[in-house]
Chains A and B, each alone.
Chain A
């Protein structure tokens, strides 16, 4: 389960959803897919927060641009995988691991988790008031701008022409997933360009 469905258009699970899943799946494994939401993207290290999943999957932001994925097996689930069950020649490549450690160190050193929450909130509040925006959903710097019109692809192109790269998902959602180091000024610039692209 994804705490926030990224590719579906940044669809956020309602509060308590994962907890209810965890309760319903009491004697089964709860697998939380944090590939897109993990490693600080939503303003916390993981987006599942108050539940205790058995398995957590990570990738995307983990390596900060180097290809690396990880499966965390927690609690009793940690002993399921035994010798011979699985493997990967490149898995855990030292260069990718070194990059991932640099990412974690930087997020901690620069206090990027609170920065992500602040800048994400700033973007959300600015875009919420743009005419033609039905909703802004998501958390931290994983945001889905839901459009009243089905013009997402056109708006993506307008933004690119104006010097801002955004990502249209389907016809109605613009996904924003900028680097966690995005400054407040850059966030404002993105909101101005995106706002104009939506209203023009």
Chain B
């Protein structure tokens, strides 16, 4: 039996506690619906944090993944493969101008890669927005403008090649929630501040 109560006990025994115990255990999904371990149905307005773009168990993804695993599942970057080249071509087409694609496995890794490319210009200062979030690996974390996100942010190595500066975010924080006034913003000053 895998009821939510039983899964909760098992989770609390073996899973790292960095997320706190999640309140729900999902065992099935279809489109915008998911079901928990006790059979309760939910409308999923989170989509795994903006991930399940075309919903759960979409036949197009199932077919594409099954076909790909039947052909070849992993080759590393010691070999080219057509599906990767095609995806890069499509993304560059969507971007609307010539370029190249580096693939990784997550958003924080994509931002780490961008951080590295920025270093290759020889420049030593990076500006990032207040309130911004770029991931939780150490490089991306150092660009994240949310000190409360992770206490480890202060545990960066003391010697820094790059100076990371925070420029004001797109909206001024005011009151209990930020950016409530669409007519006013600190962003304008923030953008100008870059050139100084």
For residue B120, CB closer than 8 A to chain A, the reply is yes
When C-beta atoms are compared, the residue in chain B nearest to A81 turns out to be B117
Partner of A99, one of B64, B114, B117, B149: B64
Complex formed: what's the CA distance from A182 to B33 in Å?
9
Q: Do A6 and B178 form a contact, CB below 8 Å, given A67-B106, A73-B117, A105-B60?
A: no
Which stretch in B5-13, B70-78, B156-164 binds the other chain? Answer: B70-78
- B-facing residues in A91-123 (Cβ within 8 Å): 91-107, 112
- B-facing residues in A143-171 (Cβ within 8 Å): 146-147, 150, 157, 160, 163-167, 170-171
Q: Do A88 and B105 form a contact, CB below 8 Å, given A11-B131, A13-B170, A46-B94?
A: yes
In the complex, how many angstroms separate the beta carbon of B54 from the nearest chain A beta carbon?
5
Q: How many residues of B contact A (CB 8 A)?
A: 99
Q: List, in ascending order, chain A residues with CB within 8 A of B83's CB.
A: 94, 97-98, 101
Chain A contact patch, size range: 35 or more
Q: Do A177 and B49 form a contact, CB below 8 Å, given A112-B54, A135-B180?
A: yes
Complex formed: what's the CA distance from A47 to B73 in Å?
32
For residue A198, CB closer than 8 A to chain B, the reply is no
Complex formed: what's the CA distance from A15 to B114 in Å?
25
Interfacial residues, chain B to chain A (CB-CB below 8 A): 23-24, 31-32, 34, 40-56, 58, 60-61, 63-65, 67-69, 71-77, 81, 83-84, 86-87, 90-92, 94-95, 97-111, 113-114, 116-118, 120-121, 123, 127-129, 131-135, 146, 149, 169-171, 176-180, 182, 185, 187-188, 190-195
